[in-house]
Structures are given as structure tokens and as C-alpha cells.
Amino acid sequence: MEPTGAETPLIVLQHVSKTYRLGETCARAVRDVSLDVGPGEFVALTGPSGCGKSTLLYILGCLARPTSGSYLFQGRDVAALSTSELAGIRNHDIGFVFQGFHLLPRTSALENVELPMLYGDGIPSPIRRRRAAAALDLVGLGNRLQHLSNQLSGGQQQRVAIARALVNGPSLLLADEPTGNLDTRTSLEVLDILQGLNSRRGLAIVLVTHELDIVRYAARLVTSCDGRVAGDEPVRHPQSAATDLAALPVDQIVPPTPAHAA
């Protein structure tokens, strides 16, 4: 499906395939995928386990190279980029959020979010701290800056991971099962953050999930099957995570822990 409007697509995949060689056999994880994603789109990529959706996400994130086909990111042919140029894209232009939070355990939330700014840019420490604090405030953790990872709930740790993904101002956020380890309420809180980043800041999001109740919060649904795109359609009326949060029974709403208590 072509993105609406006259803007140049952020992502253009043309006949992309990815084959892994396992000894004398080959496993085709992605098969002849053509896909455009425009700036500011919120796309859910779904399908059964083993359908190639995570491999496709790694290709989009410049973590894996296609075996064949072409990938343009912001109009640049990814195949023509050097290793350092690809690293620059991953650090500045694309943010990553995974099911596992991948936080340093004995490090504060602030220090975890500062990490992407430590690679090669020479950003002074006061500026790093200010940017990291602003990113944490954006995800509702402005009062948890000095808390260690093991002092935070699972939902709070995922918020730190989102803040870390945002701190360098990417144009694309790739989220691989970001609610997979979370309960219903906490999942809605994360989805509310993602919807807000998409609607208020224009951040493009590609969210991989196998949970059908999660895809209804995106504006476009791409379905993968056997490594191919089996469906691509708009979500006519995306569900509001904020509305669903407000509708939860009172006994399911856990008040936030005071900043001094954890």
C-alpha cells in the first residue's frame, strides 16, 4: 500500500528476500516483499511465529542485509552504505524497542538513556543528562531519573527503553513485541505512549506483534505469512489506548509509587 500524501516514503522495500544458509540447506525467512512506509505512519506488522516478521524488522533496522532486492531508507540505498554509515543510521535515525528491555541492571534510568549519546558524537555530559532527562519526562518517568533498573517495574523499564530509543531524535521507531512481557494495564500504558509519540510528534512506528488485540491500536495493518506480505490494509478506526486505560476498573488501576519509596 502506498503512503498517503505527497511525502517521500521513509521506507521503500522492493522485492526483498532474506535467505539463511544452514549447512547444505537454505531457509527463506523473507520472500519477495515490497513495502512502503511513509513519514508519521503507525504500522502493525503481524503474523504467526516463524512468518519472518522479526527478520523483516531487522532488515528495516539495518541490522540484517537482504539477500536480494533493494531497501531505501530516507531515499538512501542501504546496500550502498558503509558499516559506519549504517551504524550512524541505527544510532540517530532509527530507535529500537524490544520485548526484553535490555537495560544495564546496576545503572540508573538516566544513565541508561544517555547510552546512545556516548557513541562518537562527543556530546558534553551536561547536554547528555539534559536530553536524557527530557526523554524520560516524555514517557512519564521524570521522577525516576536516579532509580536503578531493578528498582523499576516492568512497565517502567519498558518506558526507560522507549526513552533511550527516542533520545537521539529518530524518525522511525521499530518495536518488536514491546508489550509481550507486560500485563494488560501496563501494555495499554506503553501503547498510549506510542500513540502519543505518533500523533503528537509525528514519529513513524513499525510495531511487530503476534497479538491480535494489539494491532487495533495501529493505523495500518500488514500481515505476514510464510515470509511474504499476505495483507496490507488501513485500520479504519484505531483503538485509543488512553480511552481503554480510563475504562479499566478502579481496582485494576495501581497508583504510581512515590519517588522516594522505590
Q: Report if residue 158 sits inside a domain.
A: no
What pLDDT, in 10s, does the model give residues 107-119?
999 999 999 999 8
Neighbours of 161 (CB within 10 A): 26
Contact 206, 229 (CB under 8 A): no
Q: Report if residue 179 sits inside a domain.
A: no
Q: Report if residue 239 sits inside a domain.
A: yes
Q: Report if residue 189 sits inside a domain.
A: no
Q: Is the model's pLDDT at 260 over the cut of 50? A: no
Say how many residues make up the chain. Answer: 262
Q: How many CA atoms lie within 13 A of 251 on its CB side?
A: 0
User: What band does 252 get if pLDDT is binned at 50, 70 and 90?
Assistant: low
Q: Report if residue 40 sits inside a domain.
A: yes
Q: Report if residue 136 sits inside a domain.
A: no
What pLDDT, in 10s, does the model give residues 67-103?
999 999 999 999 999 999 999 999 999 999 999 999 9
Q: Which three cell numbers stand for residue 175?
A: 518495536
How many structural domains does the chain have?
1
The whole model's pTM is what? 0.90
Segment holding 13, helix H or strand E: strand 11-22
- Structural domain including 38 reads 1-81+209-246
Q: Report if residue 101 sits inside a domain.
A: no
Q: Report if residue 45 sits inside a domain.
A: yes
Q: How far is CA 136 from CA 58, 78, 142, in A?
A: 26, 31, 5
Q: Domain with 228 in it: what CATH number?
A: 3.40.50.300
Q: In 3-state terms, what secondary structure has residue 76?
A: strand
